[in-house]
């Protein structure tokens, strides 16, 4: 069970691809297959925004993406939609501070699933851990155009601060992550990088994921 083993979980979080249909201009299933082939180690289905799928269409898309993740052996995480995650028996859920509370999500998904929580301050990070989070997402580390309601840019320094304060929970850095700035966030203490556009907007998601994997591992 991944979530009970921090060493394995940290490896799994190395290249965390997040995507929804509004983020792509060709089938997300294709992009996910290529990203995993290149080196993405975990995937989060984040179906948000004006053109986001809902209801049955969202469920069908999620099931297809889940099948790809299972076939390739990487965890399939759903953003925010706890009911869908439970219905599909997804590998985990990621929630932000404005979504369902982490404690409530943990109660609904049970002890064996992966729970990720976005945290912007040490207080939120410590609370997330108490509530049963397995990892936290910290961001936006750099400027991003992929999230309308993103908080203020916090820089890799926020991650170093969390580590200096003694936080040992796995951390993924998010927001504006590129090949170029990946080494800085890993040096700051992140276990992995979490990206939408660096993979989804690349002409070659496979090459992008591969390069990110190598940058995050060196
Ligand atoms: N959450 P990109 S930033 C989904 O700060 C998300 O919590 C963020 O997309 C946060 O890799 C973000 O294209 C968008 O910058 C990340």
Q: Work out the number of other CB atoms within 10 angstroms of the CB of residue 164.
A: 11
Structure tokens at 164: 């200096």
Q: Is the Cβ atom of 181 under 6 angstroms away from ligand 1?
A: no
Section 133-140 average pLDDT: 97
Section 161-167 average pLDDT: 98
Atom of ligand 1 nearest to the CA of 201: 13
Instruction: Please tell me whether the peptide bond between 140 and the residue prior to it is cis, using omega within 30 degrees of 0.
Output: yes
What is the extent of the structural domain holding 9?
2-217
Q: Is the Cβ atom of 177 under 6 angstroms away from ligand 1?
A: yes
Beta strands 192-195 and 171-174 are parallel
Domain total of the chain: 1
For residue 29, what is the domain's CATH number?
Answer: 3.20.20.70
Section 113-121 average pLDDT: 97
- What pLDDT shows up at residue 3? 73
How many angstroms separate the CA atoms of 54 and 31, rounded? 20
- What pLDDT shows up at residue 73? 97
Measured in residues, the chain has a length of: 218
The answer to whether 42 touches 75, Cβ cutoff 8 Å, is: yes
Cα of 195 vs centre of ligand 1, distance in Å, is 7
ipTM score for this prediction: 0.99
Whole-number mean pLDDT of the chain? 96
Beta strands 15-19 and 171-174 are unpaired
**pTM, entire model:** 0.98
């Amino acid at each position: 069970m991944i979530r009970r083993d921090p060493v394995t979980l940290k490896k799994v979080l190395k290249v965390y691809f997040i995507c929804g249909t509004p983020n792509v201009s060709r089938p997300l299933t294709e992009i996910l297959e290529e990203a995993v082939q290149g080196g993405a180690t975990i995937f989060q289905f984040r179906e948000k925004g004006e053109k986001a799928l809902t209801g049955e269409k969202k469920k069908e898309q999620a099931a297809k993406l889940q099948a790809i993740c299972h076939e390739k052996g990487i965890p399939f995480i759903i953003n925010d939609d706890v009911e869908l995650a439970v219905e599909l028996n997804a590998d985990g859920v990621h929630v932000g501070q404005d979504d369902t509370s982490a404690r409530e999500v943990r109660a609904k998904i049970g002890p064996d699933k992966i729970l990720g929580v976005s945290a912007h301050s040490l207080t939120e990070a410590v609370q997330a851990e108490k509530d049963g989070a397995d990892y936290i997402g910290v961001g936006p580390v750099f400027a991003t155009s992929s999230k309308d309601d993103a908080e203020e840019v916090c820089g890799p320094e926020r991650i170093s601060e969390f580590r200096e304060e003694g936080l040992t929970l796995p951390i993924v850095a998010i927001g504006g992550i590129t090949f170029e700035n990946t080494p800085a966030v890993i040096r700051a203490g992140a276990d992995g990088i979490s990206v939408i556009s660096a993979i989804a907007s690349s002409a070659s998601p496979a090459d992008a994921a591969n390069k990110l994997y190598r940058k995050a591992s060196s």
